[in-house]
Amino acid sequence: MEDLATLGFIATTLGATWRLATPLIFAAIGEVFSERAGVLNIGLEGVMLMGAFFGFAAAFTSGSIMLGLLAAIAAGLAMGLLFAVFTITVKADQIVVGAAINLIGLGLTAFLFRTYFVSTGKGVEIARPIAVPWLVDLPLVGEALFRQNALVYSTVLVALLAVFVLYKTSFGLTLRAVGEHPKAVDVAGRSVALYRYGAVLICCSLTAFGGAFLTLGHSNQFVEGITSGRGFIALAVVVFARWSPTGAFFVALLFGLFYSLQLQLQAQPGLLVPYQLFQALPYIMTILALMLVRNKGDTPAMLGVPFRKS
């Protein structure tokens, strides 16, 4: 029990935090785009599974992680298109369609995995860790934090890019307007539907990329339901982050910490608490987080409401 408090424990926990937060960061930032445009996509879990599976399948057959990531993005775009057609063009309820997307993602990946891959039993070679010069030599945390693979580092890039696109470009301004006052955008002569399609596709490709991290950058195998609720937790991250991309980055890191603590504490011998308590930690924390923020007024005004041109 004494080593619980040691610095080594803290350093490994922090390193694992960033790694375990990576899929959440991608999915949450993606969902920020979608929700800012007024589209509530609860199908993240299914999309993430598709990314995880197709990333794994493509990397497994081609031997290239790059192709795996591209396949994951393509799978994400396909699911995003399906979601967008039903929610934006057909104007069906977003929650119902999202639930269907989750079922399809879960079923399709498990079906294809059992049909083609389950007997192979082999994994893929995951992305290699890269040491960041200088930073890796920092005392204590250097090794743990700055010897990660490129996918982990790319979360910072994605967060910065998301801030830039959402707040510094005309595309981002219009996208946010679509979520607050779509009529104004329509009167200004821009297509609300087009921007919503764009937002959903950005959301789903980022989410699928986050899913691919699970199979190509974290564990080297696909397992049915490998995302284990991360898509849903990302939804809570977005609420907790008050729909801000930087907020999503840091809140996702907080949840990464819960995941990391869960793994680290489970591995501690001689704990008197049942290990299931740690398993449940991310889910309990999600509920507590939602209680903590309450729902203030900064929800995108038209979140979940289909736009009908009149």
| Residue ranges that bind another protein, judged by CB under 8 A | 42, 82, 86, 90-93, 95-97, 99-104, 106-108, 110-112, 114-116, 182-183, 224, 228-229, 232-233, 235-236, 239, 274, 276-277, 279-280, 283-284, 286-287, 290-291, 294-295, 302, 304-308, 310
CA 32 – CA 133 distance, rounded (Å) = 32
Single-letter code of the amino acid located at 109? T
Question: Under 8 Å CB-to-CB from 53, ≥6 apart: which residues?
Answer: 75, 109, 112, 113, 211, 215, 222
Considering the complex, what minimum distance in angstroms separates the CB of residue 18 from another protein?
23
Shortest spacing between CB 186 and another protein, in angstroms? 9
Nearer to another protein, 63 or 229 (CB): 229
The CA-based angle 293-207-61, given to 5 degrees, is 155
Could you tell me the smallest distance in angstroms from the CB atom of residue 302 to another protein?
A: 7
Nearer to another protein, 86 or 249 (CB): 86
Nearer to another protein, 15 or 51 (CB): 51
Least distance between another protein and beta carbon 135 (Å):
35
> Least separation, in Å, of the C-beta of 14 and another protein?
25
Q: Report the C-alpha gap between 37 and 196 in whole angstroms.
A: 6
Which is nearer to another protein, 148 or 262 (by Cβ)? Answer: 262
- 147: helix, strand or coil: strand
Nearer to another protein, 91 or 168 (CB): 91
Report phi then psi at 303, rounded to 5: -60, 120
Cα 178 to Cα 18, 92, 143, 260, 274: the distances in Å are: 32, 18, 44, 37, 48
